[in-house]
């Protein structure tokens, strides 16, 4: 009798009805998690990947083009070399195109296998790709503009300009490495917070790295005209800014591996913890990149006039860099606890 009482309950009419079994509850959850809103988020991911990378590419192209136009008046023989920043800015848009095509090919409206969790995953992937590409385009534009102007006055600066542009371009590649877009888990909305945490870690650290790269590149370009022999030493701020993006990549990959379906035990508290972890890493990286950019710009200019400042500049850059490291450590604690 006790077992029957546990399996039966009165409905609104007073009649006895069977209580849903655990399997029925699971099936109901699965049905509610299916693709009603999944394609919406997936489509937003396609749009975000393409439009933000295109915007970054456009900025990089027009900003570099301005410098090339100015430089070409006095040094038309260097135009073909100076066109490299424009080419690299255009490649950023290709990253967005590739990711957008991949995501759009996996959107299956109304399909039983296409769940809202896939939509969340694809939206996060597109957003990461787009905003990282936007940051990369910004860095390429600033570095390219300053670089080609310096190149017209000091041809030996060419190698330094290429190195800076490579570090700026890599920021866009982080987006392509951050997400496996083949997720096929079923989920309620709790994984959304986890995906946003992973996306935040990568997006904000890349934006910080982009600013640090661009700001330092302006100082290096100015210094390289008068002291070309110091160019390789002066690239250090750009390298340290790029490392900030790696912190975000590590945290994003760790968090991405922790996100599962709600029906598999992924609860809201886990989603909130992963969101907090991603924001911690991302915003600490953003601050670190800002500090590195300001210090790098002023430091390389000062080093050109007083070489003894070099050690002091490195110490300041290290203290700026560890701000991002602190964020990564706390994010890993939050994300793995």
Kindly report the pTM of this predicted structure.
0.77
Query: Which range is least confidently modeled, 67-71, 82-86, 177-181?
Result: 177-181
SS percent in the chain: helix, strand, coil, step 5: 85, 0, 15
CA distance 82 to 94: 21
d(CA 297, CA 234) in angstroms, rounded, equals 10
Q: Which helix (H) or strand (E) is 152 found in, with range?
A: helix 116-153
Residue 263 has what pLDDT? 65
Residue 1 CA from chain centroid, whole number: 60
22-32 burial, b at 16+ Cβ within 10 Å, e below that, comes to eeeeeeeebee
Cβ contact 89:9 at 8 Å: no
Q: Select the highest-mean-pLDDT range: 81-85, 174-178, 260-264.
A: 81-85
- The full set of domains in the chain, from first to last, is 37-178+189-335 (1.20.120.610)
* pLDDT category of residue 66 using cuts at 50, 70 and 90: confident
């Amino acid at each position: 009798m006790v077992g029957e009482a546990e399996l039966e309950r009165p409905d609104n009419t007073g009649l006895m009805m069977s209580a849903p079994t655990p399997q029925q509850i699971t099936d109901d959850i699965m049905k509610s998690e299916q693709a009603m809103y999944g394609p919406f988020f997936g489509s937003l991911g396609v749009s975000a990947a393409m439009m933000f990378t295109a915007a970054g590419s456009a900025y990089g192209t027009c900003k570099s083009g301005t410098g090339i136009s100015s430089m070409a008046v006095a040094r038309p023989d260097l135009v073909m070399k100076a066109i490299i920043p424009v080419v690299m800015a255009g490649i950023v848009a290709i990253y967005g195109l590739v990711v957008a095509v991949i995501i759009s090919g996996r959107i299956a409206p109304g399909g039983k296998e296409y769940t809202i969790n896939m939509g969340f995953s694809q939206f996060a992937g597109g957003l990461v790709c787009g905003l990282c590409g936007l940051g990369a385009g910004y860095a390429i534009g600033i570095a390219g503009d300053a670089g080609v102007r310096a190149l017209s006055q000091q041809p030996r600066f060419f190698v330094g300009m290429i190195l800076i542009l490579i570090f700026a371009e890599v920021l866009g590649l982080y987006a392509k490495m951050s997400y496996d877009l083949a997720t096929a888990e079923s989920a309620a909305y709790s994984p959304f917070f986890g995906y946003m945490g992973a996306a935040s870690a990568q997006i904000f650290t890349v934006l910080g790295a982009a600013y640090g790269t661009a700001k330092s590149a302006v100082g290096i370009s100015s210094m390289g005209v008068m002291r070309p022999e110091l160019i390789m030493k002066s690239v250090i701020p750009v390298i340290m800014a790029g490392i900030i993006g790696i912190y975000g990549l590590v945290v994003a990959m760790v968090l991405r591996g922790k996100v599962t379906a709600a029906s598999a035990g992924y609860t809201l508290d886990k989603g909130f913890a992963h969101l907090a972890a991603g924001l911690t890493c991302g915003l600490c990286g953003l601050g670190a990149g800002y500090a590195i950019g300001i210090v790098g710009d002023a430091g390389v200019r000062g080093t050109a006039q007083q070489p003894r400042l070099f050690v002091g500049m490195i110490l300041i850059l290290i203290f700026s860099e560890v701000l991002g490291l602190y964020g990564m450590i706390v994010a890993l604690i939050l994300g793995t606890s």
